[in-house]
Amino acid sequence: MPRRIPVIDCTDLYHPHQDVGDNFDILAPFAMEEIDLRAVILDVTEHFRRLPEERVVQNPNLFGTDPGGRDPGFIPITQCNYMFNRHVPAAVSPFEPLKSPEDQARDVPDFQQQGIELFLETLRAAEEPVDVLVFCSCRTVAAALNREPELLKRKVRRLHLSIGTSTGDMFDWTWPSKVGVPPAPGSVGYVDWNVTLDPHAYVRLLRSELPMSLYPCSTENGPLELGRHNTYFRMMSLAWILQMQPRLRNYLAYAFTKSTRLDFLRALDGPCPPDAQAFFKNAKKHRVWETAIWLEVSGRKLVRRADGTCRIVRAEEMRPGDAVVPGQQQNCRLTRVDDTGRFAFELADTDDRVTIFDRGEDLLGYETAASEAVPHWYCGFQL
């Protein structure tokens, strides 16, 4: 049994899903034996709970066309605990953005305090420093840092932030009207979705002294472009999901088809529903941002083998002919952070407090390797 790495996972996992990639991604920490998943913080933004006609403020920067009508993802977390026979606790973040980078969010309702409290309690109980992964806004982590900065300095080994825009020259960049994703208020360029959810929270972490690894989701052209420093890639088929362990397959079927079955645990047993089978066979694209984070935290590598196949492997599974596909963290220095959450950086040789994802110049090579390796990885998940 490898050493298990204690992890807190912060995710904007909703039910029904907003981005089904969150349902897809949460399987990894449950399935990997290297990961000791201590807690899940469900990041919630009130805007997406409300139907469009119920929204007091129509904020186009939070995708005003979003249909809303969703709540925190307790159902998919309960399904994962059921499948993997675990009891990983989950709790919600505050529903509204922080009022300033220094906000402790003490004025939110008690129910919405639970995520911050679970985060702090998990750190206090940890016998060694914890890796904190953020695939959403930084709201819970920033509020916790504002409340107990010394605790986080002692007990957070590293922040891993799946958030932000990777281009360093955004400050003098003009937003192109042809791109259908809005910029944040006052911004001249694209500010990543997760930043826009709570800019104050992201700025608080970027300006802190905590060790952090950055995994930007977006380039200056938005979240759906391949860049050297962002983590996005595409898988062009989902038919392979039908080959997964049956309960895991049914879990993804429930998520992807937005099933309305109330017996959400029984839904994981039995055959795959026909509508889900048809969906997976016909799906032509699935977008991924999260894989690089799990590889970095677990120590696994994306490799191209001597026979040309690509796989995700542990260190002890490396073969003599394996070539590691570029996609690791590089030391960097933040040279500017502004109040919208835009930042500039430069690569550095020595200081490793801040690092950033770097997959080099062969962007399609990375995408090709990852899109082949991830299905094999997921099909190997066992219960």
pLDDT at 166: 80
Least confident of 212-216, 221-225, 292-296: 221-225
Has residue 188 got a pLDDT over 70? no
In tens, the pLDDT along 48-65 reads 898 888 887 665 556 667
In tens, the pLDDT along 224-278 reads 889 999 999 999 999 999 999 999 999 999 999 999 999 999 999 999 999 999 9
pLDDT at 291: 97
pLDDT at 178: 37
Q: Which residues pair with 72 in a beta bridge?
A: 14
Q: Which residues pair with 131 in a beta bridge?
A: 7, 158
Cis peptide before 29 (omega within 30 of 0): no
Of the candidates 334, 312, 102, 128, which has an alpha carbon nearest to the alpha carbon of residue 214? 334
Judge contact between 373 and 323, C-beta under 8 A: no
Assign 179 a pLDDT band (cuts: 50, 70, 90).
very low
Mark 321-336 as b/e (b = at least 16 C-beta within 10 Å).
ebeebebbbbebebee
* pLDDT over 70 percentage in the chain: 91
CA-CA-CA-CA torsion sign (238, 89, 62, 102): negative
Tallying the residues shown for the chain, one arrives at: 383
CA-CA-CA-CA torsion sign (300, 301, 302, 303): negative
What 8-state DSSP symbol labels residue 27?
Answer: H
Of the candidates 215, 144, 223, which has an alpha carbon nearest to the alpha carbon of residue 179? 223
- Whole-number Å distance between alpha carbons of 127 and 266: 37
- In the chain, % helix, strand, coil (3-state, to 5) comes to 35, 20, 45
CA triplet 160, 166, 167: central angle to 5 degrees? 155
In tens, the pLDDT along 119-131 reads 999 999 999 999 9
pLDDT at 52: 82
Helix or strand holding residue 355 (H, E) = strand 354-358
pLDDT at 64: 60
In tens, the pLDDT along 350-363 reads 889 999 999 999 99
- Whole-number Å distance between alpha carbons of 116 and 381: 31
Has residue 172 got a pLDDT over 60? no
- The structural domains of the chain, ordered by start, are 5-236+285-299+329-379 (3.90.245)
pLDDT at 119: 98
Residue labelled with tokens 């952090």: 212
Assign 191 a pLDDT band (cuts: 50, 70, 90).
confident
pLDDT at 243: 98
- Average per-residue pLDDT for the chain: 92
Assign 47 a pLDDT band (cuts: 50, 70, 90).
confident
pLDDT at 309: 98
In tens, the pLDDT along 120-171 reads 999 999 999 999 999 999 999 999 999 999 999 999 999 999 999 886 555 5
Has residue 30 got a pLDDT over 80? yes
What 8-state DSSP symbol labels residue 161?
Answer: E
Encoded amino acid at 141, one letter: V
In tens, the pLDDT along 301-336 reads 999 999 999 999 999 999 999 999 999 999 999 988
Strand 71-72 and strand 14-15: pairing?
A: antiparallel
